[in-house]
Amino acid sequence: MQPYDQNNIFAKILRGEIPCHKVYEDNHTLAFMDVMPQAKGHVLVIPKFEAVELTDMNSEFIQAVFSTAQKIICAQRKVLQREGIVQLQLSGKEAGQSVFHYHIHLIPASVHELGKHEGRVADQSELATLAAQLSAELDQPTIK
Ligand code: DGP
């Protein structure tokens, strides 16, 4: 198993050392745009907890990550006008995990459309616009 590295890119995002296009934040989680999206509107949800993968997290953070994911999925459906949201989580290098801080991918797409994630960074202004649109939808909660 990969040990937790405090200098991984998502730890730096959590510390505010590098920027992200934030969609949502609470005491336990942060949701932001994937800079190398596999589809338009691709969001990552991470815990504010030093976990490489699911087995490293306690139930409080697991619950918080999935609660945030629910909110984001509702917003993605409205903004992207896609019903299908692929929820993807890679645990371990062999599985393809490349950033070793737990994250769940929320990708508005069909699984049949997905290739590997983009090798290049997406247009920053498009990411900023999508983050703002998704964030605005969260101001009108639809979760019961
Ligand atoms: P995985 O392969 O499951 O570990 O996914 C890592 C994802 O993180 C991948 O889709 C690309 C994304 N990513 C990598 N570096 C950055 C970054 O600096 N900022 C953001 N927002 N996403 C990143």
Spell out the domains of the chain, with CATH numbers in brackets.
Answer: 9-136 (3.30.428.10)
Check residue 143 and give its pLDDT: 55
User: Is the confidence at residue 141, as pLDDT, over 60?
Assistant: no
What would the mean pLDDT of 17-38 be, rounded to a whole number?
97
Give me the percent of the chain exceeding a pLDDT of 90. Answer: 85
User: Of 83, 78, 69, 90, which Cα lies nearest the Cα of 140?
Assistant: 78
Pocket-testing residue among 34, 103, 117, 134, ligand 1, by greatest number of atoms within 8 A of Cβ = 34
Pocket around ligand 1: residues whose beta carbon is below 6 Å from it? 9, 20, 32-36, 90, 96-99, 117
Q: Which two tokens stand for residue 66?
A: 């999935």
For the segment 101-122, what is each residue's pLDDT rounded down to a tens digit? 999 999 999 999 887 666 678 8
Average pLDDT, the chain: 93
For the segment 1-14, what is each residue's pLDDT rounded down to a tens digit? 789 999 999 999 99
Residues in CB range of 95: below 8 A, 6 or more apart: none
Identify the active-site residue in 42, 103, 105, 117. 103
